[in-house]
Amino acid sequence: MSMTIAAATARIARQLPEAELSLDSALLASARLMESMLLARQADGVETFTGQTALMRLAKAQRTLIESQNDMIRVHQELRGIGRDVKAITDDEGSCPTETGLSVAEPLLRSA
């Protein structure tokens, strides 16, 4: 099934932010879960280190989600370049993510 550039651009422009927000939602949900897990082990009768393995796995999942967010930013940037190349979009300043946030985060990830 063939699609015009305009139709493809509109479809991608609608779906890309949805994909980006879904990663944010997943990270927020996992943060809420982390909070609940930590609060639960403060309950009377629960040993201090109960659920530590589960907490470590959840923290790993959160790191993976953050890495996925970085990849989604790169996807956005790549699609922006393709859109300019095929003249499907204009280059509106501030409408897309920049590399700035990624270059700051990478040294932090290495030091963690």
Q: Which of 2-11, 53-62, 100-109 has the highest mean pLDDT?
A: 53-62
Largest CA distance in the chain: 64
Structure confidence at residue 98 (pLDDT): 66
For the chain, percent of residues with pLDDT exceeding 90: 73
Residue carrying the six token digits 């030091």: 111
Across 62-91, average pLDDT: 93
Measured distance CA(75)–CA(97) in Å, rounded: 10
**81-110 per-position pLDDT tens digit:** 999 999 888 766 666 766 655 554 454 444
Structure confidence at residue 89 (pLDDT): 84
For the cut 60, the answer to whether the pLDDT of residue 13 exceeds it is yes
The dihedral formed by the CA atoms of 30, 36, 41 and 43, expressed in degrees to the nearest 10: 180
